[in-house]
């Protein structure tokens, strides 16, 4: 890292940096975040084991009551995959808050590094890490009976939808981590994201919910993403869910990235 960080540029934060140096710095911070993830065994296990436990719980404990036909696994797996992707991405709030509260950012400010590379490194590493964990969850789901009907184009759409969703959650988490005053406080974002799918179409159709909950479940951001994934994987109707899901995700990326950049500038300027 030191060789890239020490590359000559005009400003220790953002001014006068060439595109080549910004890309090099970003790659360095992606590697840094990935190494930190691999060393944090407890966080890695939580992000992977929790969705697997929920998958097995809903399929083998609740599945028979929710759908006696035995097809509940086909319905629930897309929701579990989204839960895995969202919960893992939300952990970005903790890693960003840790950087901001341990003094390492002051060290980076003394080096010729674009400040935005720190945040981009966290987000890109989060997406890469969660793509791997999502593949593991999908592999377990297939092993216990999930039979997707998707072809190559549909799987490409699934991957694109997941990357958009993970990026949106990760950027919003980064902004939350910059607002939080401690890593413990930043962890609250992950719990919010983890429970959001429960009030959606992830586990049961919204039509089975009371009317006051049905309206929330049908119009919150997670539901169109799940319906898009479910349609791509299992061939159910997607309708307008895909465009709504993309709009929600792009909006989250714009809001999260813009807010994170603004908050980061204010924090480092103090």
The answer to whether residue 3 is domain-embedded is no
The answer to whether residue 4 is domain-embedded is no
The answer to whether residue 47 is domain-embedded is yes
Whole-model pTM: value is 0.86
Supply the pLDDT for residue 18: 65
Handedness of CA 207, 158, 48, 52 (dihedral sign): positive
Domain encompassing residue 216: 17-269
Task: Return d(Cα 123, Cα 96) in angstroms, integer.
Answer: 10
Three-class secondary structure assignment of 80-136: HHHHHHHHHHHCHHHHHHHHHHCCHHHHHHCCCCCHHHHHHHHHHHHHHHHHHHHHH
The answer to whether residue 192 is domain-embedded is yes
Domain count, the chain: 1
Using CA atoms, how far residue 230 sits from 53, 78, 202, 268, in Å, is 20, 6, 9, 42
Supply the pLDDT for residue 43: 66
The answer to whether residue 29 is domain-embedded is yes
- Close Cβ partners of 163 (under 8 Å, ≥ 6 residues apart): 127, 131
Q: What is the mean pLDDT of each run of 10 residues along the chain (270 residues)?
A: 37 52 77 75 72 86 77 91 86 86 75 77 89 90 92 96 95 91 83 86 90 89 95 94 96 94 80
What's the half-sphere exposure (Cβ side, CA atoms, 13 Å) at 19?
A: 0
The answer to whether residue 8 is domain-embedded is no
What's the half-sphere exposure (Cβ side, CA atoms, 13 Å) at 219?
A: 6
Task: Quickly count: other Cβ atoms within 10 Å of residue 8's Cβ.
Answer: 7
The answer to whether residue 198 is domain-embedded is yes
The answer to whether residue 235 is domain-embedded is yes
Using CA atoms, how far residue 118 sits from 94, 108, 109, 185, in Å, is 14, 9, 11, 20
């Amino acid at each position: 890292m030191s060789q890239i960080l020490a590359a000559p540029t005009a400003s220790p934060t953002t001014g006068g940096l060439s595109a080549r140096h910004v890309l090099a710095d970003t790659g360095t911070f992606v590697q840094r975040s990935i190494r930190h993830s691999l060393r944090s065994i407890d966080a890695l296990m939580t992000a992977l084991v929790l969705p697997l436990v929920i998958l097995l719980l809903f399929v083998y404990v609740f599945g028979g009551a929710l759908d006696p036909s035995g097809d509940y696994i086909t319905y629930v797996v897309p929701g579990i995959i989204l839960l895995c992707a969202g919960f893992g991405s939300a952990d970005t709030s903790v890693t960003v808050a840790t950087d901001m509260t341990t003094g390492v950012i002051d060290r980076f400010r003394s080096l010729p590094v674009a400040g935005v590379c720190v945040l981009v490194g966290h987000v890109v590493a989060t997406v890469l890490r969660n793509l791997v964990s999502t593949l593991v969850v999908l592999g377990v789901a297939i092993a216990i009976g999930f039979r997707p009907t998707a072809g190559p184009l549909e799987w490409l759409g699934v991957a694109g939808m997941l990357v958009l969703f993970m990026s949106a959650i990760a950027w919003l988490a980064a902004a939350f981590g910059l607002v939080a005053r401690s890593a413990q406080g930043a962890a609250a974002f992950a719990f919010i994201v983890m429970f959001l799918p429960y009030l959606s179409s992830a586990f049961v159709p919204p039509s089975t919910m009371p009317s006051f909950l049905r309206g929330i479940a049908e119009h919150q951001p997670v539901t169109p993403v799940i319906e898009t994934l479910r349609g791509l994987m299992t061939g159910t109707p997607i309708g307008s869910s895909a465009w709504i899901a993309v709009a929600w995700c792009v909006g989250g990326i714009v809001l999260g990235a813009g807010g994170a950049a603004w908050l980061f500038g204010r924090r480092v300027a103090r």
